[in-house]
Structure 1
Amino acid sequence: MIYNPKTYATIPVGVVIRRAPGVTRWAAWSWRAVSVMPGAGAADWRELRRDGDTVDYHAATAQMDLHGAETEAYLQGISARVPSVYVVMRQNVGADAASKPFHVVLVTASPFEAQDYADTGEEIVEKVAMPEGLVAWVREFVDAHHQEETFKKRRRDKTDVNRVEDGVGDPRIHQLSDVYRAPASVRKGRVH
């Protein structure tokens, strides 16, 4: 897909992930995305704040993209009671998993795109409150590119849906041929 630069915008967004003590004996730690930082620089699990056992990390910075074709989704997202962005993460496996348990896959302002990722069940999708500056940036983009779709009424075909076909498919009524066979198999009035 080719994007028109006039209907495309991007901004770096830092993702803050909080590690807190787990609430059950089966999970030592609870991890969740708690905030985003628009315009953040690159980061790789840099510690931001520590309060006892609770630690906030600037885990990663991802590019948040806005596309002119998705303005309906952005409009729904910023019109919510609490405008939000969605952080899509995938659990790391291997040697780094202990110090960097998640990889940030995507940051999006589209609730529809976030739902697509949530439906797969392979990623973790966290809803995070959108900072006011980011709300203003998304709203400005939507105002510039959103076009309401005109409603088009479909025309119905003229098929009579209430028509009764006596005997079609009824095994008690003798048929010359199989009524479910494709019409191409009946040629010149003969049944094959």
Structure 2
Amino acid sequence: MTTPTDPPDDGHAGEYGEEPGDGVDRLGCGRSLVDVWDLWERRAHDPHRRSCVHCGGAVADLERLESAVCGLRDETEGVGEETASLARRIMNVVRLELRPGRPLPLGAPDEDLWVMEAVAARAFRAAAETVPGVRAGSCRFLGRVDHVGAEVRLEVHAPADRPLTDLAARVRHAVYEAADRELGMRVTLVHVVVADVVTPSDEKEGRAR
């Protein structure tokens, strides 16, 4: 096997500063899908999209997806903040799953093994949810990821009846174990961000809606 120094080359150069081989999911025009969606969601001026069939199609797909999620929300009786929050979480996870992200190195430096960022993030979210009462949200890899190690930022929804410091420690442990046993990736730091605290009554109301 060869010794990898950079992720596999995808053959495109980006207009937002990405270099070939950065693992960014690109459209037929060469633009990053992440950037096109971000510009659209911020309602930023984007003249290229108006004349580009690739960018226009990507935005149309996202619009149809959001319409479907909003339709499910509107059909639910007693729509409230909890249901709206659920719809937002669904969209956040869907966006993450549709963006494969960078290829991340696995194993020792002399091994040519890689895993896509979205796959690793999915494994870490699943690991976090093995902690009772925890629901995982966004999972991001911070900075450059190499064989020395990765730094992870993971958002969770936590049960209100558990000490948050203890819960965060258990989530970190679950992520470290998943990285080591399932992926063979060295994770040096896990930032656990509690995005919401859920009480038992909130969960019962959510199921009843």
TM range (shorter): under 0.3
The structure with the larger Rg is: 1
Q: Which has the higher strand share?
A: 1
The structure where helix makes up a greater share of residues is 2
Q: Provide the TM-score with structure 2 as the length reference.
A: 0.22
